[in-house]
Structure 1
Amino acid sequence: MRPIKPTRKAGLWTLTRFVPKGFRHVEARKVVRVSTGIRVADDPAGIRAHEAVQALNSQLEAYWRGLDAGQPVAPVSATTARAYVEQMRSRHLPAGGLDGNAVEEIARRVAALMRAGEAANPTLTLKAQPTPKSAPTAAKRSGVASSTKIALSTLLDEYEASQKVQLAKYSPDQLRRWRNGRIRAVANLKQVLGGDRYIEDISRDDALNFRDWWQDRIVAGGVKIDSANKEIGIISRMVHVLNRSKRLGLELVFKELCIEGGGYEQRAAYAVDFVQNNILADGALDGLNDEARGVVYVCAETGMRPVEIVNLTRRTIRLDCDVPHILVKPEGRVLKTDYSDRHFPLVGVALKVMSRNPNGFPSYFDKSPVLSATVNKYLSAHKLRPTSKHSLYSLRHTFEDRLTAVEPPEKIQAYLMGHKYDRPKYGSPPSLEQLKGWLDKIAFRAPTSFEP
């Protein structure tokens, strides 16, 4: 067999082994990679790394032999690697001319590594060789969970299963977007690590390399700090939840990796006159389909989130009453916040639109990203976005400016916006009549060519 040498991976010295043919029936992986936790920069010649890799390889082979014999032992992991590195803080031992004391020292270090592995992973339960129910493991008797291998390639499936109660409330589009964000985060992490990896084998250095990769992208331009922090947070949250629910006993290596300097970048608000004289001008939106144009008008008049408007239904559109209104409810989907649940009087152009669309906007139901992309593309093509920071959502910020100009009570403004009201929640929400009185003061003039 060729000598085992440390390999470089993401700035760290790593043990890399192709699984021998004789053990492929008990090892699902084709290639096993375990980081030594030693930075290449700290050990450029790989002297300490070489010694660490030999010890890790010895444990790995013992692990395979144990599986083959039906007597599983603790698997090699990043935890045991870090324990071994800790043991190597004494002087380096030369490869040749070893005296008896040096040999004893190597034996001591390997023994320490094995003990650390056994302490971190008392038992191993394999799906291919399940432990009989009649024979409880030492881990169960001691109250310590057995080792559970979770690869990055299965991380999302495991995490999604742990969140099934909350996700059951999501609409199909909300679930799609939830998944896509996590798929993207895991894919980026795998790219930095050089491939798939068990979360148990991911070290703090690996996590720091992930943050460094994001920082390089931010410096190069095109990536925002908040986007980087969001993905780091997604990975941290997934690992934290699974560590807790499966009692893995992992070091939470992705904690406290937030990149400083981020912050909420508020969208620009349209000037009120620009909305009235340009967006609501006769014929300005004639190139949009009827439903998309209707959503723009309702958004301009009410300041509601586009996602709230496209998910209105016959049940939440109330036209045959003293004060026509709409209800924002978590029907088959999750609202952005608890404060988003509210009733909203219809006035001005919004009342005309909803009278024309009593069943809502079926073409865009649960498809708010499609609606926003369609509208923003049209606004750009027709010079209805004064800057790149203006978009359909900017109409919501304009609505808040319009409210502020007439100085309603703070409770009224927070309720209409669907924001938290920073006072104890007493009594009932504002009535439809109260809300309508304030909305009438700021209602836009509808396009004369627009008929309900």
Structure 2
Amino acid sequence: MRRSTAPRPHKRDGIWYLVRRVPKEFASFDRRGLVRISTGVAVADDPRGVRARDAVRSLGAELETYWRKLGDGQSAEAALRFEAARKRARSFGLAYRTNEELAAGPLDELIARMKLLLDRNAIDNAADVAAVMGGARRPALRLSGLLKEFEAIEQQNLLAMSPNQIKKWRNPKKRAIANLIGVIGDKEIARMTREDAVAFREWWQKRVVGGGLDIGTANKDIGHISKMLRVVDLTHQLKLEPVFHHLRLSGAVAAQRAAFSEQFVQEKILAEGALDGLNDEARHLVYLIADTGLRLSEAANLTAETIHLDQEIPHVQVRPNGRRLKTDHSARDIPLVGCALDAMKLHPNGFPRYRDKAASLSALVNKVLGKKKLLPTSEHSLYSLRHTFEDRLTAVEAPEKVTASLMGHKWIRPKYGAGPSLMQKHEWLQKIAFKPPKG
């Protein structure tokens, strides 16, 4: 069910629609002939069909998945048989191989498996023979099932993630697969060709050139698909061709690092009443980030256990605390000074409204900063306060090791000892502390 181009939206009664003819191979299952599905997007609200194209692509992927499921009525049962055989093979200490794979492999392995059945008196047990000798066929894995399979393989890596982190991990992969299915259909991954991958690359090229989309976004899609295929192939020894190898688009430009000037932060962002459009938690999180350089997610996920206001040097601790830190170097202790100290005194238990919701915090604050003309350029955002924090440390010539320790960056030399103390970090932070807003 290959499609050379992505489906296009069609106008009908003032609404954009997906219109697809049922493929011949599924006509006996779906007798509608022509399928029309509303995107829910009014033509008047989207005259050029920009939003409609994305909606149609998503609906098209879902429709093709539906057709495939109709055609593969027995696939669920076959998958269960295969999984049972694979688990039973593991109980014998073996990796599951189908009989075709065993026949194509070395004769010694085939003989060893037969001997294992004889040694365990399992030669008359049909389930054991099927598990050891590959009696259950490996079910065909389609693109629509790729993420689920990849997630099952990577489940140990998800254990340390919070629900929101898992969502952020999953969504770009989900979108990449939906985009690919929209271009080439819900193909079996073993039947994907270099031509399919090139077609996907060309589809992205047209969007980049014609739609002004970012090259980096295209390359992320290609990268996600390539990695998922590679991991699934390695795990199940499918011997897939690396069809996406060397297909990333060239010309990507690294995002420009933007930082506020120290004067702008003090006189504009921290001016009395400047952030009145924000709720207390969001406003005080801005103050906290300004004088600690914390990442948004680190600040939003502080709790009573990681906030220490009654210590000789008040400080906060960045710890996993139910979520995965960005890097191994992110865990650190940061003294509280200036605006940060004032903010934390008002929130000794943290910021429950934004716990595990850093994206919501960012969206709200950036919207308010934009409305109040507190973003000097399009490259500036709430996150720019972290860059400003680093620049201010550089301006007072703080030792690089102290700066790395405060930022949660890797130190260029091997780590020995405990690193800079709270006292040392406190001394440097006092040199750059902002004056808290009045009132």
TM-score normalised by structure 2 residue count: 0.72
- 2:50 corresponds to which residue? none
Residues in 2 aligned to 1:19 and 1:448: alpha-carbon distance in whole angstroms: 70
- Pick from 279, 291, 294: which aligns with 2:269? 279
Q: CA deviation at 1:207?
A: 0.7
- 2:193 corresponds to which residue? 203
Q: CA RMSD in A?
A: 2.7
Match of 2:317, SS?
strand
**Contact 1:151-1:198 within 8 A present in 2 as well:** yes
User: C-alpha offsets along residues 393-427 of structure 1, whole Å, 9 cap, x if unaligned?
Assistant: 01111111101101111111111111111111111
- 2:111 corresponds to which residue? none
User: C-alpha offsets along residues 161-200 of structure 1, whole Å, 9 cap, x if unaligned?
Assistant: 111111111101111111111110100000111x211111
- 1:253 corresponds to which residue? 243
- 1:133 corresponds to which residue? 127
- 2:155 corresponds to which residue? 164
Match of 1:218, SS?
helix
**Contact 2:366-2:382 within 8 A present in 1 as well:** yes
Q: CA deviation at 1:389?
A: 1.0
Q: Please state if 1:10 is matched with 2:8.
A: no
**Contact 1:270-1:395 within 8 A present in 2 as well:** yes
Q: Please state if 1:394 is matched with 2:384.
A: yes
Residues in 2 aligned to 1:281 and 1:423: alpha-carbon distance in whole angstroms: 40
User: C-alpha offsets along residues 43-98 of structure 1, whole Å, 9 cap, x if unaligned?
Assistant: xxxxxxxxxxxxxxxxxxxxx9xx9xx9xxxxxxxxxxxxxxxxxxxxxxxxxxxx
Letter in 1 for 2:158: L
**Contact 1:122-1:139 within 8 A present in 2 as well:** no
- Pick from 301, 306, 318: which aligns with 1:328? 318
- 1:105 corresponds to which residue? none
- 2:140 corresponds to which residue? 149
Match of 2:333, SS?
strand
Match of 1:423, SS?
coil
Letter in 1 for 2:336: L
**Contact 1:147-1:248 within 8 A present in 2 as well:** no
Paired residues in the alignment total 336
Residues in 1 aligned to 2:325 and 2:382: alpha-carbon distance in whole angstroms: 19
Residues in 2 aligned to 1:264 and 1:427: alpha-carbon distance in whole angstroms: 35
Residues in 2 aligned to 1:138 and 1:314: alpha-carbon distance in whole angstroms: 54
Q: Please state if 1:302 is matched with 2:309.
A: no
Letter in 1 for 2:181: K
Q: Please state if 1:231 is matched with 2:221.
A: yes
User: C-alpha offsets along residues 331-379 of structure 1, whole Å, 9 cap, x if unaligned?
Assistant: 1111111111111000011001001100100000000000000000000
User: C-alpha offsets along residues 234-267 of structure 1, whole Å, 9 cap, x if unaligned?
Assistant: 1111111111111111112122222122242133
Residues in 1 aligned to 2:402 and 2:3: alpha-carbon distance in whole angstroms: 57
Residues in 1 aligned to 2:240 and 2:181: alpha-carbon distance in whole angstroms: 19
Residues in 2 aligned to 1:309 and 1:392: alpha-carbon distance in whole angstroms: 12
Match of 1:339, SS?
coil
Match of 1:327, SS?
strand
Q: CA deviation at 1:122?
A: 6.6
Q: 1:419 to 1:266 in 2, by over 3 A?
A: farther
Once the two structures are superposed, the pairs formed by residues 8-407 of structure 1 within 5 Å of their partners are 9-10=3-4, 18=25, 132-136=126-130, 140=134, 147-193=138-184, 195-407=185-397
Residues in 2 aligned to 1:283 and 1:313: alpha-carbon distance in whole angstroms: 27
- 2:18 corresponds to which residue? none
Q: Please state if 1:421 is matched with 2:411.
A: yes
- The percentage of counterpart residues that share the same residue type is 51
Match of 1:424, SS?
coil
**Contact 1:343-1:432 within 8 A present in 2 as well:** yes
- 1:51 corresponds to which residue? none
Larger Rg: 1
Match of 1:251, SS?
coil
Match of 2:420, SS?
coil
Match of 2:353, SS?
helix
Match of 1:343, SS?
strand
Structure 1's unaligned 5+ residue stretches are 1-6, 25-63, 71-117, 124-130
- 2:37 corresponds to which residue? none
Q: CA deviation at 1:222?
A: 2.9
- The more displaced of 261-270 and 163-172 is 261-270
Q: 1:259 to 1:287 in 2, by over 3 A?
A: same
Residues in 2 aligned to 1:250 and 1:221: alpha-carbon distance in whole angstroms: 33
Q: 1:120 to 1:20 in 2, by over 3 A?
A: farther
TM-score normalised by structure 1 residue count: 0.70
Q: 1:427 to 1:277 in 2, by over 3 A?
A: same
Letter in 2 for 1:425: K
Q: CA deviation at 1:138?
A: 9.3
- 1:112 corresponds to which residue? none
Residues in 1 aligned to 2:360 and 2:210: alpha-carbon distance in whole angstroms: 30
Match of 1:307, SS?
helix
Structure 2's unaligned 5+ residue stretches are 6-22, 30-71, 79-99, 106-124
Residues in 2 aligned to 1:273 and 1:121: alpha-carbon distance in whole angstroms: 73
- Pick from 400, 406, 411: which aligns with 2:401? 411
**Contact 2:215-2:252 within 8 A present in 1 as well:** yes
User: C-alpha offsets along residues 276-331 of structure 1, whole Å, 9 cap, x if unaligned?
Assistant: 00000011112210000001111111111111100000000011111110000011
Match of 1:243, SS?
helix
